[in-house]
Amino acid sequence: MANITSILKEDRRFEPPRAFAERAHVGDLAAYHAAYRESLEAPDEFWGRIANAFRWTKPWTEVLDWSAAPFARWFVGGETNITDNCLDRHLATARRDKIAILWEGEPGDVRVFTYAELHREVCRFANALTRLGITKGDTIVLYMPMVPELAIAMLAAARIGATHSVIFGGFSATAVRDRVNDCGAKIIVTADGGYRRGQVVPLKAAVDEALLAGCPTVERVVVLSRTKTETAWVTGRDVHWADAVAGVSTDCAPVAVDSEHPLFVLYTSGTTGKPKGVVHTTGGYMVGTAYTSKLVFDLRDDDVYWCMADIGWVTGHSYVVYGPLANGATTFMYEGAPNFPEPDRFWKMIAKHRVSIFYTAPTAIRAFMRWGDAWPSQHDLSSLRLLGTVGEPINPEAWIWYRQKIGGERCPIVDTWWQTETGAIMISPLPGATPTKPGSATLPLPGIVPEVVDKDGHAVPDGSGGFLVIRRPWPSMLRTIHGDPERYQKQYWSQIAGAYFTGDGARCDADGYFWIMGRIDDVINVAGHRLGTMEIESALVAHPAVAEAAVVGRPDELKGQGIVAFVTLCAGRSVSQSNGAAQKMADELKSHVAKEIGAIARPDEIRFTDALPKTRSGKIMRRLLGDIAANRGTTGDTTTLEDLSVLAKLREQDEE
Ligand code: WTA
């Protein structure tokens, strides 16, 4: 949550450390401004030059075709393969034997893949997929723990022109079924389980449950053995990863695809009950993630770079896999929890693997603060040279702690603003160039044109809050919502004419620095994970006892936002607060939501009410509920309330 102190203390500035700036790709603010200016004046030349650094089997003829806006085509007519650029391109250089993926499992097992080895494994699994009947244009779902095979499977799909859709391993069987059916996957790649906080997360069992519920497009399930857990087996459908790759060749030529060929579909929460499949295509996404990785993380050949996001989220796609590999970097991956076996696991691994760049989320930083300074202070963190954050606004206190206790006051911090839809970082400091202010994502990257506007699309004065929009298309932008181009157009390009609507509120200060305030739509951000309030409401009303539900976020010190659900039960199912029945029902509903969506969506609190406050037209007054959930006095106009007594009753419960 952006809080008032962040706004009041914006005079605190940290200049890029001189030693850092001297070696950086962009070493001062003047160089940034020059690049930014060029990107505005000649955007085609600007993006075209960056794209030229990649291998294209057929050159593009036009940088951007925006004639069918908001449906963009980037690097029009070009053909390439992203894995050729992430892998093969490095094999003729000294990077051939450089570590591409350095991985540590939660139990402490370590695996290392050089670029040559990763190339071989990707080719092998690509051939296995082909043998299983996957060809260009098919979609495969990956539902896996954070193991190297997840990255290998993504790259293998891309190598043969198949589209991947990764589903975060924390989602439930129901969520898997819905996503698989929406994208029409032919194959699911999963594992028996993954390790999390010493426990086994049973992934294959969830896939079995999803398939039992009905996923008619799925023909085969590939199962990696990670935890050696017994799982049910459907002969003819299920195949062990080891058997799938047995005997296949380790040579597989990359299949050239059109620049606009879909690389992946990634589901994210929106303002309706149904998650949307954000579609990213090949050429623009490759250019966007590679360019931003290099600039924002200032990647150098001797870096050990660690983005701690799970690959199930967009951050893992862009900044664990594609961005770093396109730059020939060493990307570190960790399977498990930050506090297993002890709260110093991360610091131990940073010291052990000499990690030099560390990218995490504000919620994690706040958890580290809570666990205490003693944990990081026991370890040698001197290998670190750069820190990053993403996913939610960072409160200045956490920013300062991160700088002092993890960065030793020596590492610049990049607070990176972007979204699943943007594909790549949009607003962020360049660590060798941009002075930082704790709590601000600072300035747009070259080529990106954000603005804070009012509801009519007019720029608001400096310092005033408004809607954050992006004025011009950019290469890694989403192309559509899978199967629903109308929703794409309506949701992102119709709210403010001619601009991309981010759904975030922001303000811009006199230096042109952006301060992101958080979502202004019905999306909440819990521990850096996006959840749609409607999605949780749909899950709740699917329970037989629930008549109606309204879900709102409330400020949470650790997670940024917590989830509060106001629930009206069906006639005859009402519970009394006094006899423990309410508690029991609340627990049941919380578990129900976790089962329907996943543990991340489990409400923190359920409040039962006889009715929900509504306007005369029947709209639930979420703002009021949000005030109640946060214990704030009711603000704003309530005269349209259908029944003011509903509100009074909810407040009374508060005071009991
Ligand atoms: C929020 C994650 C403040 C924002 C990459 C956005 C942030 C949503 C920041 C996207 C940041 C992301 N400061 N807020 N640095 N980064 N957000 O799609 O509300 O999971 O709209 O993508 O996270 O979340 P998503």
List the 605-608 sheet strands across, edge first.
546-556, 560-569, 605-608
Residue 578 has what pLDDT? 66
418 lines ligand 1 (CB under 6 A): yes
Q: Is the C-beta atom of 476 inside 6 A of ligand 1?
A: no
Question: pLDDT tens digit string along 345-376?
Answer: 999 999 999 999 999 999 999 999 999 999 99
**CB-ligand 1 contact for 516 (6 Å cutoff):** yes
**What average pLDDT does this structure show over 162-175?**
96
- Ligand 1 close to Cβ of residue 392 (< 6 A): yes
Looking at ligand 1, which atom is closest to the CA of residue 393?
3
CATH of 521-655, one of 3.50.50.60, 2.40.50.140, 3.30.565.10, 3.30.300.30: 3.30.300.30
422 lines ligand 1 (CB under 6 A): no
State mean pLDDT over 63-68.
Answer: 98
Sheet holding 99-104, edge to edge: 110-114, 99-104, 330-334, 304-307, 357-360, 386-390, 413-416
- The fraction of the chain above a pLDDT of 90, given in percent, is 85
135-149 in b/e form (b: 16+ CB < 10 A) is eeebbbbbbbbbbbb
pLDDT at 209 over 70: yes
Average pLDDT of the segment spanning 492-502: 96
In this structure, are strands 386-390 and 357-360 parallel, antiparallel, or unpaired? parallel
What value does the mean pLDDT of the chain take?
A: 93
> What pLDDT is stored for residue 259 in this prediction?
98
212-219: list long-range contacts, CB under 8 Å, 24+ apart: 213/173, 213/174, 213/177, 214/177, 214/181, 215/177, 215/180, 215/181, 215/185, 216/181, 217/180, 217/181, 217/184, 217/185, 217/186, 218/180, 218/185, 218/186, 218/187, 218/188, 219/132, 219/133, 219/186, 219/187
Answer whether 535 contacts ligand 1 (Cβ < 6 A): no
For the chain, the domains span 521-655
Confidence band (pLDDT; 50, 70, 90) for 644? Answer: low
Residue nearest to atom 6 of ligand 1 (CA): 419
Nearest in space to 122 (alpha carbons), one of 168, 167, 86: 86
Q: What is the pLDDT of residue 7?
A: 45
**Residue 428 Cβ < 6 Å to ligand 1:** no
Q: Whose CA is nearest to atom 5 of ligand 1?
A: 419
Query: Are the beta carbons of 426 and 417 closer than 8 angstroms?
Result: yes
Nearest residue (by CA) to ligand 1, atom 8, is 419
Burial class (CB in 10 A: 0-12, 13-18, 19+), 6: buried
Residue given tokens 């994502």 in the structure block: 441
Name the pLDDT band for 314 (thresholds 50, 70, 90).
Answer: very high
- Range 105-116 average pLDDT: 98
CB 244 within 8 A of CB 190: no
Tell me the pLDDT band of 521, cut-offs 50, 70 and 90. confident
Pocket test for ligand 1, best of 289, 414, 418 (most atoms within 8 A of CB): 418
pLDDT tens digits, residue range 430-444?
999 999 999 999 999
Give 640's pLDDT tier (boundaries 50, 70, 90).
low
For residue 20, the CA-to-ligand 1 centroid distance in Å is 27
pLDDT of residue 2: 43
Q: Is ligand 1 within 6 A of the CB of residue 32?
A: no
**Per-residue pLDDT averaged across 385-414, rounded?**
96
Q: Which of 166, 292, 390 to mutate to test the pocket of ligand 1 (most atoms within 8 A of CB)?
A: 390
Q: What percent of the chain has pLDDT over 70?
A: 95
Q: What is residue 4's predicted lDDT score, i.e. its pLDDT?
A: 42
Quickly tell me which residue has 């993926």 as its tokens.
101
